[in-house]
């Protein structure tokens, strides 16, 4: 199977039909057409209990009336800031899975919502498959590492996240060449790599260009380190270079000593 096909099949987190039926989702979306479209997607995906609200205040009222397992909510301010809404929602139920939705996650500071407890995010416009993946990953997937969320240099942390996921993927693929059982690890590692790349592209300071620049810097730095294969090659080349320089220097030194130590030619008195 090709890498591309494996990549497309790489999501390993799943929700059973029973888990979907038991989920209670509150959808907070100010755009009526989009709200209706999202509802239809959720029904088609088998999620059992649905409610919706046009703004954050309406949503808080509904949260006070019944329990929800998930909230998918507008990341922009409506009748109140999204951050305040999420904190109030967590006061009602700290176990609720919060998924902010946004047309532009960087502009709307979705990253800030992840820091205070959101488990995932949804980029609009969205397809039915992307909506399902966002819910499943927020429910069953690993949360974004705190080392990334609280990093002083966000792009560097995101680049390290991508490189780390790539390392784990390449190890699994290399082991799969020798051990049949190792092939089972590949879809999960691919899923982790795909998610790391998506997070990096979505939340990089300065956009994708800045993310790529930082990623190149991290890879160069790792390549120059002695622990990497490239680093070990560089180290061997440098050692050979220094040996040649030393050997050349010793040869010149010996030659000079030989010249200066020669006895002067005897001059005849005749």
If you average pLDDT over every residue of the chain, what do you get?
85
Which has the minimum average pLDDT: 87-101, 205-219, 225-239, 240-254?
A: 225-239
Please tell me the predicted confidence (pLDDT) of residue 84.
Answer: 97
Residue 53 in contact with residue 79, Cβ under 8 Å?
Answer: no
Give the whole-angstrom CA distance, residue 114 versus residue 216. Answer: 26
Please tell me the predicted confidence (pLDDT) of residue 242.
Answer: 78
Higher pLDDT, 165 or 266: 165
Work out the average pLDDT over 62-90: 96
Q: Nearest-CA neighbor of 144 among 114, 185, 107, 100?
A: 114
- Say whether pLDDT at 222 is over 60: yes
- Say whether pLDDT at 223 is over 90: no
- Say whether pLDDT at 4 is over 50: no
């Amino acid at each position: 199977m090709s890498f591309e096909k494996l990549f497309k099949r790489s999501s390993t987190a799943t929700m059973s039909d029973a888990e979907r039926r038991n989920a209670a989702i509150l959808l907070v979306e100010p755009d009526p057409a989009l709200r209706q479209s999202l509802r239809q997607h959720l029904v088609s995906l088998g999620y059992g209990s649905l409610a919706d609200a046009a703004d954050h205040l309406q949503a808080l009222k509904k949260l006070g009336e019944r329990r929800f397992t998930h909230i998918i909510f507008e990341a922009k301010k409506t009748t109140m800031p999204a951050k305040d809404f999420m904190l109030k929602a967590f006061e009602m139920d700290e176990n609720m899975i919060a998924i902010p939705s946004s047309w532009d996650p960087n502009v709307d500071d979705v990253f800030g919502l992840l820091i205070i407890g959101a488990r995932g995010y949804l980029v609009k416009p969205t397809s039915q498959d992307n909506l399902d993946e966002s819910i499943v990953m927020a429910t069953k997937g690993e949360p974004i590492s705190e080392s990334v969320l609280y990093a002083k240099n966000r792009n560097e942390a995101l680049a390290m996240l991508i490189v780390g996921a790539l390392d784990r993927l390449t190890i699994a693929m290399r082991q799969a060449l020798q051990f049949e059982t190792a092939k089972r690890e590949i879809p999960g590692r691919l899923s982790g790599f795909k998610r790391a790349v998506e997070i990096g592209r979505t939340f990089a300071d300065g956009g994708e260009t800045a993310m790529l620049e930082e990623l190149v810097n991290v890879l160069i730095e790792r390549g120059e380190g002695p622990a990497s294969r490239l680093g070990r090659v560089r180290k061997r080349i440098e050692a050979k270079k220094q040996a040649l320089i030393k050997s050349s220097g010793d040869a010149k030194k010996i030659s000079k000593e030989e010249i200066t130590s020669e006895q002067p030619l005897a001059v005849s008195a005749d």
